[in-house]
Chains A and B, each alone.
Chain A
Amino acid sequence: MILTAALGLPMLGALALAVSSRWTETAARRCAIAVSVLPVLLLIWAWRQFDPQGALFQFVEEVPWVPSLGMGYRLGVDGIALAVATMSALVFSASIAYPVDTKHQPRQYYAWMLFLQSVSLGVFLALDLLLFYVFFDLSLVGMFFLIGRWGHGQAQLAAFKFFLYTFCGSLLLLLAIIGLYLSVEPHTFDMRVLIEQQPLAGAGMTAALVFLALMLGFAIKTPMVPVHTWLPQAHVDAPGPVSAILAGVLLKMGTYGIIRIPFAMMAETFSRHALVIALFAVASILYGAFVALGQRNLKRRIAYTSINHMGYTVLGIAVAGALIQDTGYARELALVGATVEMVAHGLITGALFLICGSFWQRTEEYDLDSYGGLLRQAPWLTAFAVLASFASLGLPGLAGFVAEFHIFAGTFGVYPWLAVIGVLGILVTAALFLQMLQKVFFGAMPERWAQFEDLRPIEWGVLAVLSAGFVIIGVAPAFLLTLVEASATLLVGGR
């Protein structure tokens, strides 16, 4: 019941906000914040109960939904899902609490945010392929309305592009899911059965097609080069907190999906194509980093670093799936790294996009060149931006480092030359973040920002929580690593 409560409570909150029109702005906001914190607490509680020595999936709940189709309301988590879901819930609470211009529709804004929190958690908690797809698609609907209604610039265009592009991916996913469903007798959407039976092992062409459709669907969502082109515009035109969710949570659905479905259910096919995936991942790493370096727009720059970071994650997964002899430990390291990268990227980039939101609220300007010398004017803002940037570029002692260290250590064991190329990405990331900090916070301050306000208490409070998250993971990652390793060992077949 913990998991149902975690995704059901925000949905109830969203309904409560949606049906009555008598909410005032403050009441709606308070209610939304309170409701959004509940899943975080519930998932932390589940985390404490989770048994690392136990079965792969725990807290399993099962209610038949359409039994004649083999579909059920099945929930359950392994360490990977639990870690990502907890991070997602936290990023949602932070984004909901972050102040934003709700354009005179606070009730609707908070209702959509809670709705999106519920369905996003559903994606990570589902143990049924079709249920997974249901939540996966609903997250697009929520995101479409949030970007279109509360975005700025060409918000509607960005929302259209986002919905159409990613819906294309999710329909491919649907075909692949049906392919998996038809390959197992009796037909079922139960993930546990599919993981156990590996139904498409040795199925030749069918397996290859299903795998291609799955990977394309998830690559669009992740996004990987060359199907990343929806991302920059969606990010730039979305309001800050929504960008934080888009980068922090929705992108994870792609990589989490890769771990859960092709990686776990089609291990043999995955291993055959692991090298290709790893190559695409390295391409994303380098492309994301270099294009980010070329951006003059603050938000666009951070958006492109997401492509770079998701590239690390995919590299870790690809390495973990390469069934090369005697590399078990390296592969496990890579998978742990990929998961930690998901958690770390969610917290760090979430914080960075919230900071972008603060910039927009104050100045409606993203051009890096128009800023300068804000250190004196806004020390708190500077402090958090510097901390998050350093975490993002992988400074030791912060979460990004733990993740990237694991991923590259694992990659060295399996594809050493790819690791060497991939590390270049970290160098470029460092350069681009340092340059960004220098342009915005140091040097001479233009006259027009003389009235620039520093962070308000609610803003720095939220940022402090997220920063605490990635600092703790950086300093004492054991609590996260034990949880993730338990499942990673099982998934790469080490136990």
Chain B
Amino acid sequence: MPIGDVLPEISLTLGAVAIVLFASFVRQRQHHWAAVLALLAIGLGAGLTVAQWGGAPRLTFADVWALDGVALASKLVVLVAGALVVAMSPEWMRTDRRHGEYYALVLFALLGVIMMASASDTMELVLGVLLSSVASYPLAAYHRGWAPALEAGMKYFLIGALTNALLTIGVVVLFGLTGSTGYPDIAQALATDSDRLALTIATACVVLGLTFKLAAFPAHAWMPDVAQGSPVPSAAFLTVIPKIGAAVALARFVSLLPPDVAWRAIVASISVATMTLGNVAALRQTDVRRLLGWSSVSQSGYALMAIVVLGISDQALPALVFFLASYAIANLAAFAVVTHLRGRTALDDYRGLARHAPIAATILIVSLLSLVGIPPLVGFFGKLMLFRVTLEGGYAWLALVAVINTVVSLFYYLRIVAPMMFGSRQSAVHLLSGQWARSAMAVAGVLLIAGGLGAEALSLFTGSIRFAL
């Protein structure tokens, strides 16, 4: 068995196990050391992933596990994002009785997302989706004494159960159709004539199952509740990281399909519906976390644009991963600021923040501008690459829809920025004491600008990635 090919995943698993043991035997006051353990495991995983970089794209473990540029690049993005989430958590979770186990769940959820991104087999994909879901439900409802968190977790769970079942049905139908679960065999079987109706049903089920993890229309409804009600570090995790794995998994899956399934039209319409719905729903929100949740829905819509032109534009996959990375940095920065501000969520509470907490306010403003795509922040280059591949692929109308949506989104992001800059406040601003959240926020803020000025590094890193298949 080529154990060496999954060393990063093994390091995450061992890290999670170690954390569970650690948390069982150490007093609660010392549980923040579990965060250090988690960071070590993630760092080790990232190091091992970098060591795998540069080889030719290939499949391993009897062709169920992809080891190609896309998988490695998205794995790195997921790990870096996971490290930021871990870093913003300790002070938030300090008073929780089960503080330490939180990090084990984060690592398991990361592992599930990585499996989604690397799966080259439908069963493997189901496994990844289920692992990340099962680990994510408790993350969403971690404060079990607080009703909104429970509600968010329950909503997340119900929608997840439904869509995961759909995903499994799709996989079963596909298995019945092709007699195989491995992607290479499926691609081969579909290239010859097969039952188009069954294939359409299977495709619809799999795509629906993945829209849940993407928080794309029609399975997006959990996102605003989770963003608003879950613990803020969990919300940061759930608005960002599952999306990365799901987008790559979706891209990998649709690239198998023969052209007459019209999957481009399906993905394009989901993209349009998702970005429009997310933006329109965000317009009137007066709750910042909920607003960020809706904005996160709309960002999934943008990401899908790259999948639409997959195979037409040779830069589609680099654009997808680049955009996801830029989105991850910006959204994590925004949530890190909210964590640092002790989760304050009403828009009115942000009034006059620029004068009382200038650094936090600056990072929040910069992250929102990056989500809009104002240059030279990293979000601008993400959107630039998306527009570029969409135009190159001949989907100018889709780019135009995205442009209109971007203008709409500017409106609600400015609704957060304006009171922070132009308003004034009397009361003091309460911040989380301690350095964890503050450092996570600062690192994310620096990445926003450094990622833009150093876009070349990110672009070289993603520039030549492609699927092994």
Contact = CB atoms under 8 A, between A and B. Distances in A.
B391 A175 contact: yes
Contacts of B410: 163-164, 167
20 contacts: A68-B459, A69-B384, A69-B459, A134-B376, A137-B375, A137-B380, A138-B374, A138-B375, A138-B376, A144-B414, A148-B418, A149-B421, A155-B422, A163-B410, A164-B414, A167-B407, A171-B403, A175-B391, A178-B388, A182-B392
A259 B396 CA distance: 25
A458 to B, nearest CB: 28
A142 to B, nearest CB: 11
Closest 9 CB pairs of A and B: A134-B375, A171-B403, A66-B456, A168-B407, A68-B459, A66-B455, A178-B388, A148-B422, A134-B376
Interface of A: 64-69, 130, 133-134, 137-138, 141, 144-145, 148-149, 155-156, 159-160, 163-164, 167-168, 171-172, 174-175, 178-179, 181-182, 209
A65 B418 CA distance: 32
Nearest to B385: A69
A230 to B, nearest CB: 13
Contacts of A68: 456, 459-460, 463
B332 interface: no
Contact of B422 (A141, A156, A163, A179): A156
B381 A66 contact: yes
Interface size on B, as a range, is 20 to 34
B443 to A, nearest CB: 19
A182 B456 CA distance: 19
A156 B422 CA distance: 8
Given A171-B403, A175-B387, A209-B396, A66 B374 contact: no
A286 to B, nearest CB: 30
A172 B403 contact: yes
Given A65-B456, A171-B406, A178 B421 contact: no
A172 B396 CA distance: 11
A163 B403 CA distance: 15
Given A66-B456, A141-B374, 13 more contacts: A64-B456, A68-B460, A130-B375, A134-B376, A149-B422, A156-B422, A159-B418, A160-B411, A160-B414, A167-B407, A175-B387, A181-B388, A209-B396
A164 B414 CA distance: 9
A137 B392 contact: no
B399 interface: yes
A67 B414 CA distance: 32
B394 to A, nearest CB: 10
B375 A175 contact: no
A65 B369 CA distance: 21
A138 B388 CA distance: 21
B400 interface: yes
Nearest to A187: B388
B223 to A, nearest CB: 25
Nearest to B406: A171
A242 to B, nearest CB: 14
Nearest to B459: A68
A331 B400 CA distance: 35
A69 to B, nearest CB: 6
Nearest to B419: A156
B387 A174 contact: yes
Contact of A178 (B387, B406, B407, B456): B387
Nearest to A150: B422
A160 B418 contact: yes
A152 to B, nearest CB: 12
Nearest to A165: B407
Nearest to A157: B418
A30 B418 CA distance: 29
A364 B442 CA distance: 42
Contacts of A66: 381, 455-456, 459
B400 A175 contact: yes
A205 B412 CA distance: 35
A171 B375 contact: no
A182 B391 contact: yes
Interface in B37-95: none
Contacts of B376: 134, 138
Contacts of B422: 148-149, 155-156
Contacts of A172: 403
A149 B459 CA distance: 37
B423 to A, nearest CB: 9
A145 B403 CA distance: 23
A66 B457 CA distance: 8
A167 B418 CA distance: 16
Interface centre among B400, B406, B410 (most CB of A within 10 A): B410
Most buried by B among A64, A144, A167: A167
Given A137-B375, A182-B392, A175 B399 contact: yes
A67 B456 CA distance: 7
Contacts of A174: 384, 387, 403
A92 to B, nearest CB: 21
Contacts of A130: 375, 384
A167 B409 CA distance: 11
B367 to A, nearest CB: 14
Interface string B348-388: 00000000000000000000010000111000110011011
Given A134-B376, A145-B421, A182 B463 contact: no
Interface string B441-456: 0000000000000011
A164 B421 CA distance: 17
B407 A164 contact: yes
A133 B375 contact: yes
A175 B418 contact: no
B391 A137 contact: no
Which of B385, B391, B400 has most chain A Cβ within 10 Å? B391
Nearest to A179: B391
Nearest to A151: B422
A66 B318 CA distance: 14
B455 to A, nearest CB: 5
A124 B387 CA distance: 25
Contacts of A167: 407, 410
A144 B459 CA distance: 31
A471 to B, nearest CB: 39
B462 to A, nearest CB: 10
A64 B454 CA distance: 11
A163 to B, nearest CB: 7
A156 B423 CA distance: 10
A63 B381 CA distance: 18
Contacts of B411: 160, 164
A174 to B, nearest CB: 7
Contacts of A171: 403, 406-407
A107 B364 CA distance: 21
A133 B374 CA distance: 10
Nearest to A145: B421
Contacts of B375: 130, 133-134, 137-138
A179 B400 CA distance: 13
Nearest to B372: A167
B369 A141 contact: yes
Contacts of B407: 164, 167-168, 171
B309 to A, nearest CB: 13
A346 B35 CA distance: 58
Nearest to A69: B459
B388 A182 contact: yes
A178 B374 CA distance: 16
A137 B406 CA distance: 14
Nearest to A133: B375
A168 B407 CA distance: 6
Contacts of A67: 456
Contacts of B406: 171
A372 to B, nearest CB: 35
A163 B410 CA distance: 9
Interface in B206-231: none
A149 B352 CA distance: 11
A64 B459 CA distance: 13
Interface string B7-39: 000000000000000000000000000000000
